Amino acid sequence: MAATGQIFSRTTQALFYNYKQLPIQRMLDFDFLCGRETPSVAGIINPGSEGFQKLFFGQEEIAIPVHSAVEAACAAHPTADVFINFASFRSAAASSMAALKQPTIRVVAIIAEGVPESDTKQLIAYAKANNKVLIGPATVGGVQAGAFKIGDTAGTIDNIIQCKLYRPGSVGFVSKSGGMSNELYNSIARVTDGIYEGIAIGGDVFPGSTLSDHVLRFNNIPQIKMMVVLGELGGRDEYSLVEALKTGKINKPVVAWVSGTCATLFKSEVQFGHAGAKSGGEMESAQAKNEALRQAGAIVPTSYEAFEGAIKETFSKLVEGGKVTTVKEVKPPQIPEDLSTAIKSGKVRAPTHIISTISDDRGEEPTYAGVPMSSIVEQGLGVGDVISLLWFKRSLPHYCSRFIEICIMLCADHGPCVSGAHNTIVTARAGKDLVSSLVSGLLTIGPRFGGAIDDAARYFKDAYDKGLTPYEFVESMKKKGIRVPGIGHRIKRGDNRDKRVELLQLFARSNFPSVKYMEYAVEVETYTLSKANNLVLNVDGAIGSLFLDLLAGSGMFTKQEIDEIVGIGYLNGLFVLARSIGLIGHTFDQKRLKQPLYRHPWEDVLYTK
């Protein structure tokens, strides 16, 4: 490892690879706790994505740039010299090598476990040859108290405060284990003035930097007065520390313990948690390493339970010898609590911004009006049943859902010449996308095209409920200057009825308990046909009147609910849903046929002054 002293400071900034909200937010919260003026995360690298991610720096919300490539991020943030890699073990090596090759990057931390050993060796060789620092793989990272921390190092804010990591102490700590690092940060804070810097080198067989690399580095940092080392059985990393101690390269007290002494109780070789925690012979045993460290001059307790006591005793001697000055205690600022956390703990309450009563996606599977998705599929329910759940918030009888499906099928399309289809075709031929083409057709739906179903239902219901005769109803509408919605057709006549209307009426007479509103609409049609042969009951009028019969005859809706359904526009929604099928079809048809831009012919326009 190239570094011979301090590798982090209060101004250190990092690039974070593979966006993870929680570890980044923990880094920013640590920054705020330490009183940093600038966030420690300068940029995020998320392959294939660019833009910004919103996070909190104290109480202030900030936008951190997101880059799609390592090279672009390094160019945009030349002062960021730490690369924190949260990629999976599959891609960690490639992205780490890309970072090591950047002249601005000085330190690379690889979080992933299981990086192929051959890849790790290449990374180590490149880092060594180019004077770079490599921490990991399989590491939680490291921390310089009061200055900078990597990802999830030291855990929660409560733990960080308990370990006094918001301000520098006098102890340098290095371990293979990230989890045990948290434990030792607590122990060290209890019996000393706390950590100055802590590093977890990672538990893989080939760590990017070794225990001795960091102890030698700590030895050159004036603020560090003693070192604490936690090793583990397996490998021979600790022997490089033994050699450094024997040759006098380390002149500060080292308190060390190698865990795994219990391995001798097992008859066969045991693999402990880390890939490297596996004794390959007597020299790699915890007992042998502890004895070698003790003979080299390290302070080695008799057991892990005595580790904290040894640290305390060593620190007390330094204080007594005047080598450690008292650290001035500071009260860290209060980290603002996230709203979601505060709500869960019952500390605050906040109003919701949206109300939803038709569906819920919070459980193991989405539900429609309380019915699980799997149940819908298992029962063989259809589109009509889904509409009944999402629109009417109840399961309607089969004849009702079947009627809804028939309406959708019969209204799906009415040829290319009607206004909606025409608009969609023109838009598609202009090269616009599916959604634009669909919407251009849907926007023509209104009182004159397909949007009269609600009005037909509203007027037929009002007239029937008031007991008006067809004559009284039609003539009263005439006096108001209102055409009767649902009556009249540009093509169909009394002697050439709309087949769709006949099919709907046939289904209703065969399946509905009552068709009183439809029969009233037919009586109105009989009267209007006496006025003109094209004043037939059209599909809008048929659906409008039959939907009234469906709502009233099913016995599942109150009068108030029926009035609300008609008033809100449910029935026009049925036409919109149905016609969307045809408009999408027209869009695909024009795209498939590769039709050119449409221009209306001159001969079809009356040019006049």
Cα separations (Å) of 365 from 354, 357, 385, 390? Answer: 20, 16, 18, 16
Classify each residue of 58-83 as buried b or exposed e, where b means 16 or more C-beta atoms within 10 Å of its C-beta.
Answer: beeeeebbbbeebeebbeebeebbbb
Measured CA to CA, the distance from residue 574 to residue 9 in angstroms comes to 64
User: Residue 138 CB: number of other CB atoms within 10 A?
Assistant: 26
Q: Which of 534, 539, 550, 549 is nearest to 572 (CA)?
A: 539
Contact criterion met (CB below 8 Å) for 112 and 87: yes
Instruction: Report the catalytic residues.
Output: 274
From start to end of 177-321, where are the E strands?
A: 195-200, 226-232, 254-259
- What would the two tokens of residue 333 be? 């600022």
- What would the two tokens of residue 43 be? 């940029």
Side chain identity at residue 609, one-letter code: K
77 contact partners, CB below 8 Å, separation of at least 6: 13, 15, 42, 43, 65, 104
21 contact partners, CB below 8 Å, separation of at least 6: 53, 55
Contact criterion met (CB below 8 Å) for 293 and 258: yes
